Each structure stands twice: as C-alpha cells, then as structure tokens.
Amino acid sequence: MNIETILNGIRYRSLFDKLSDEFTRGSTINDKLIVLAALNSWNLFDQIIKDYQQKYKQPKDKYILDQLTPTLQFFISHLQFCENLPLKHFKTQSLKQAIIELKTELSEKIQSQYSLSLLIESFLNEDETVFKNQNKFFKIDFHKVLTNKLKERDLMENKPYNESYTHVYNFLTYSLIPDFKKEKFHDYPIDMGMDYQTEYLVRFYLNNPSKENYLRAIEYAVNIIYLDKKPYHDFFVFRVNFSEKEITEDLYTKNHVGIRFDTNADWEDWEKLKNGQQP
C-alpha cells in the first residue's frame, strides 16, 4: 500500500489546510478521517506530513504551512468532541504533539471500525453494503487483473520463478475464492511442480480444510497480493525424494533441509540429529 493509492485523487491541501478551497470542496470530514486513518495504519502518516512540508517549503507558501497544525487540531477536536474547539484549547500544542495525538485518536476511533476479515467476508458473501463501507479504508479492487503489476514486483524484489507473486495470485483468484463461494472446502495435493508461495499457503492453512481455514488462507493471500505485505516466511526449500515417510515428515514439520546418503554411517548421523546431537 502506498500514499497515492490511499489518497485516490485527494489533494494534500484537502487534508491539511482547513482554510483552502480544496478542504471545503469534495470529500467530507469523515472521508478525510478515513484517509488519514489509512495512512496511519500503513505507517505513512509521518511521511505524508514530510512530503507536505517539502511541497510548500518556499517562503511564499508559509501561509499554507501555517494551517497544518490548526488543521490537525481541527481533526482531533472533531474526533474527541464532534465539534471544532477554539484555537486556545490547543494554544500550547506543537505540531509534533498534534501529530501524536491525532494518530492516537485515529487508531482508537477510526481504524477500529475497519477489518480486513470483514471486508473479505463481505466480498465473498456478496454483501455490497458492508463491502463498500469497509473498502473506503482498504481500497481493494478484487476484479482488477494484477498479473503485470505482480511481475514488476517480482523483478523489483528479484524473486525467482518459484517464489513469484503471480502464483499465489492465480491460486487465490482461480481456486480459493471460487471454491469458497461454492463451499467446496477441500485440501490441495502438494506435488513437485508446486511453487513455494502456494505450497506454504496450502501446508500452513489448508492441512485441515474448513470454512474458517479457507478464510485465513484468503486473508493471507490478500495481504500479500493487494496490500503489498511480504510473505510471512522466507523460502528456503530443498526438495527431497526420501522414500522413508518418517524422515520426510520430520523434515517438513521442522522446516529442515535434508541431504540423503545411503550408508549405515548416514543413518547413525540421522539418529544423532534427531536427538539434538552433532553427527
């Protein structure tokens, strides 16, 4: 998630200059608070303040920056008392203090109203009223094709093919979501051709397929694909073809890398490793 996506066309002065035309036109106070809360939720609030100060740093724009602190105080007042208190109520408050107080108020009174789980459930259950309300905060378009964007992300993060974000995107779009809507809560076979992203998702969320676990798997995928979060685990996978079930299960359970040699000494080393000893 980035500042541009969250703003969705809203201008900076619409948020930070209560005396400007931009502030009084277009978005409502509640819309502005949702945007500010989203910026705060994604740890972008301080960055947008810095960007705003940089944008209007010239002496001729001093009158614009002079309204930054009073505008943040206006939002604080609205959240605390649903009204705009006189400036004297905040007369000793610095910009830094106003930022801290507003971020706290946004966390407690705005962000708490929005839930990614509720957004996803409302989308899956086609509850448009709840979905539209929740999506004011998250701004996710589940119908937009993201393949090219994810390929660019792969290049930026230097992802090898087996860790490509396109795999989990396709699995979410063409398997998880359709199966959930059809109430087909089944497991998925893990084979040698499965990419690491999808294998992780299946192994950690769908070993015991149920409606609740499908929701957890979908939320994991949405976080990765739509909210640009990193995968919950880095991938260090070494595929093995051990025939002994005990060995393969132990390796996967403990997330170990395995190398197999067919000698009696190797078996002795294996027993030592299981007992926490160095071979």
Cα(first)–Cα(last) distance of the chain, in Å?
47
| Amino acid 238: pLDDT | 44
Distance, in Å, from the CA atom of 82 to the CA atom of 109, rounded to the nearest integer, reads 12
Residue at 216 is within a domain: no
| Amino acid 89: pLDDT | 63
Neighbours of 273 (CB within 10 A): 14
Residue at 211 is within a domain: no
Residue at 267 is within a domain: yes
Q: What tokens does 175 get?
A: 């398997």
* Percentage of the chain modeled with pLDDT above 90: 46
Final residue belonging to a domain, choices 77, 93, 113 = 113
The continuous run of DSSP H or E covering 135 comes out as helix 128-138
Residue at 35 is within a domain: yes
Domain that holds residue 251: 245-274
Residue at 168 is within a domain: no
pLDDT tens digits for 41-80? 889 999 999 999 999 999 999 999 999 999 999 999 888 8
The answer to whether 29 and 41 are in contact (CB under 8 A) is: no
Residue at 180 is within a domain: no
Q: Which residue numbers in the chain have pLDDT < 70?
A: 83-91, 233-267, 273, 278-279
| Amino acid 228: pLDDT | 87
| Amino acid 118: pLDDT | 93
Residue at 125 is within a domain: no
Residue at 149 is within a domain: no
| Amino acid 147: pLDDT | 93
Distance, in Å, from the CA atom of 152 to the CA atom of 165, rounded to the nearest integer, reads 10
| Amino acid 45: pLDDT | 93
Distance, in Å, from the CA atom of 251 to the CA atom of 245, rounded to the nearest integer, reads 10
Final residue belonging to a domain, choices 113, 129, 153 = 113
Q: What tokens does 143 get?
A: 């119908």
Final residue belonging to a domain, choices 85, 113, 141 = 113
Q: How many domains does the chain have?
A: 2
Distance, in Å, from the CA atom of 73 to the CA atom of 53, rounded to the nearest integer, reads 17
